[in-house]
Homo-oligomer: A and B are copies of this chain.
Amino acid sequence: MNRSISRSSGDQTVQARVYSQLRQSILDGDFRPGRSVTIRGLADELNVSPMPVREALRRLTTERALEVSGTGRVSVPKMTPAKLQELVRARICLEKQAAIDAMPFIGKTRLQRLTRFDRKINRMIARADHQGYVIAHRKFHFDLYSAGKGSVFMPLIESVWLQISPFLTSTLLHLDSYSTSDRHIEILAALENQDATALGFAVEADIRHGLGALTESDWQKKA
């Protein structure tokens, strides 16, 4: 039909747009572990040709957000206890450093925004809105780390989050309540005092308690 190449959506290539959409969907928890995704299936769903989807999927498998089976089928990886522990360790060492690097660039404006995100997180927990929680939680952390000017840490951190997100959301759904111990308060306090050491501890505690609880508790509930 439309044989002319029209990068009609803001000068981006179709491939880039599809990639961003899928990436976002994965981070938002729209993809469940074990779900298999096909090129043509996604292409039909997104109303694009198979070509851009193919490249987007290849990119996502490269950053371990998806995995390819021996026969080339693409699916959302399943979580294992060992893998989750390793991902937690990766999050801790990367995000500790990223937070400390970002600290000097955290001004009053951003601190207020972070505080708003924190309140939103609490609201989402209160109303048991799992997806809303996951999204607000991510905004808090990413907004913090991206205050640093660098271009190295964020992609690494995002790769780790992409690997955790499907599992996290699917597990949260099977939990009636989860640890509301709000470590974000400690992070905010450390930022206000410009205390790098306290910030490092707070970030580590936040990650360890947020995901560590899942390692122990109802692991079996999920498929």
Interface residues of A (CB under 8 A from B): 13, 15, 54-55, 58-59, 62-64, 72, 82-83, 86-87, 89-90, 93-94, 96-97, 101, 149-153, 155-156, 159-160, 163
Contacts and interface: CB of A to CB of B under 8 A. Distances in A.
Contacts of A82: 149-150
Contacts of A13: 72
A183 B15 CA distance: 45
Contact of A93 (B62, B94, B151, B159): B94
A155 B150 CA distance: 20
Contact of A55 (B55, B149, B152): B55
Contacts of A101: 86, 89
Given A64-B152, A156-B156, 12 more contacts: A54-B55, A55-B58, A58-B59, A62-B62, A82-B149, A82-B150, A87-B152, A89-B101, A89-B152, A90-B97, A90-B152, A94-B94
Please tell me how many copies of the chain the complex holds.
2
Contacts of A63: 62-63, 155
A163 B62 CA distance: 16
B97 A153 contact: no
A151 B67 CA distance: 12
A149 B96 CA distance: 24
Contact of A96 (B54, B90, B93): B93
A152 B86 contact: yes
Given A72-B13, A90-B156, A97-B93, A83 B151 contact: yes
A90 B62 CA distance: 19
7 A-B pairs with the lowest CB-CB distances in the bound complex, closest first: A86-B152, A59-B62, A93-B93, A86-B150, A93-B97, A55-B58, A62-B62
A130 to B, nearest CB: 24
A177 B46 CA distance: 56
